[in-house]
Amino acid sequence: MGLSSMFGAETKREETFPFQLTDAEWRARLTPEQYRILRGHGTERAGSCALNYEKRAGTFACAGCGQKLFKSGKKFESGTGWPSFDQPLEGSVGTTEDFSFGMHRTEVHCSNCGGHLGHVFPDGPPPSGLRYCINGEAMVFEPEQG
């Protein structure tokens, strides 16, 4: 079974999202690197983001809109150079089939603002068997209080 069928109907890029800004507002809100990744479907260089090495308890949220995406307990070391998770928070992400660069992948985006986060692959650890390979620049980390 393909990942798209595991996630239900694929999301169309023309979809509207609850959190919307103009292009000028996105550029003002995000750093140039965050804008390139979240709004331009870019990718950061492997191993370049501090969130890949984040080990504290807490939550990873979308850098674009602040929606909570992943709990730290779902993060694992994949050896890829990008933060990897085996499961997102329920309803926090959507997927789209991605045929860029001559490859077929499943893109992951924030379900609230549509920002590009990364990709999901079927080579993760049990029980999900999934690896959400996420750009660290697309997220912010919120440490657990107390």
Which residues are catalytic, by number? 133
- Element containing residue 105 per DSSP (H, E): strand 105-110
Q: How far apart are CA 118 and CA 78, in angstroms?
A: 14
Q: How far apart are CA 42 and CA 70, in angstroms?
A: 20
The DSSP letter of residue 57 is S
Q: How far apart are CA 99 and CA 42, in angstroms?
A: 14
